[in-house]
Amino acid sequence: MPDPAKPLLKIIQFTDPYCTWCWGSEPVMRHIEMAFGSQVGLGFVMGGLVEDVAAFYDPLNKIGGHDMARQVAAHWREASARHGMPVDADVWLDMKDEFKSTWPANIAVKAAQFQNEELAAMFLRRLREAAAAERRLIHRPDVQAELAAETGLDREPFLTALEDGSARKAFLADIEECRRWHVTGFPSFLISNRAGEELMFFGYQPYQRFVELFKRLSSRLVESNQAGDAADAILAFVRRYRKVAPREVAEVFSLPAGEADEWLGRLENEGLVRKQKAGNGRFFLAL
């Protein structure tokens, strides 16, 4: 008999903190959380987008070689124009002489998972925010530790897991999981139901695509449409997640971008949220 306490469906996202389309998928993931709640569980497998920048080449986006930092910065700006999440692509110019791999940030997420899965998910989000839109160098252990502490993780065991090799070992197990599922790009998603049926699909997906696949795996899901007073609902959303981008409000509440901005502006004028510059966009934080 299926365990009634388990989610009806589970999504595993194969991901990397530096992946701009994983960052672009955050509004959709939050939409799923808001619409389906505990009916759908969310997890992640760390994929390690770039092991060694010296050997990396992405033929699809023509990224690699001595000018890789500028190429990635341009790719982030182009992607931001499409997915709508804020980016500060100049972070790549800041770290071009010292950045060697995305692996250290992935390993940091595994160190966080040793302590608490929920906090690890929050830490992964915090890494995304810091790298994508706050111009933070998340490959550095000191920055990782600072962000871990912000998230509520215990700094000392976090650093110990980085230093003793246990987090790296756990990350390498995730790499093997990626290989098992033939994941070569991020984000990729594995959806499964209680009966063990699975669907694997690759690349950025809109919310409705997830809903279509959910219906193929479960007839019992109940979707909430986030009805009610818009101001109260949006404020509750900001308070729940602490920091949100306007694109996330637009996605979750099915609003045009301008209308989402207008509602957030009203809340700011009422002293209920504050605005924070984030690269080519902004975040809103609950007060």
Which whole number is the average pLDDT over 49-61?
A: 90
The residue to which tokens 């595993």 are assigned? 12
Cβ count near 130 (within 10 Å): 21
Domains of the chain, each with CATH number or no CATH = 9-180 (3.40.30.10), 230-286 (1.10.10.10)
The predicted pLDDT at position 92 comes to: 97
- CA 23/CA 126 separation, integer angstroms: 11
C-alpha 243/C-alpha 224 separation (Å) is 22
Region 235-258: what's the mean pLDDT? 97
Summary mean pLDDT of the chain: 95
Q: Where are the beta strands (DSSP E) in the chain?
A: 9-15, 40-46, 57-58, 63-64, 188-193, 198-202, 243-244, 273-278, 281-286
Q: Is 219 left (phi over 0), alpha (psi -120 to 50) or beta?
A: alpha
pLDDT digits (tens, 9 = 90+) for 159-205: 999 999 999 999 999 999 999 999 999 999 999 999 999 999 999 99
pLDDT at 227: 63
Contact 278, 134 (CB under 8 A): yes
Distance from C-alpha of 268 to C-alpha of 119, rounded to nearest angstrom:
28
pLDDT at 77: 97
Please report, for residues 22, 55, 71, 151, 215, the alpha-carbon distance to residue 66 in angstroms, rounded to integers and kept in the order given.
25, 11, 10, 35, 46
Q: Report the residue count for the chain.
A: 287
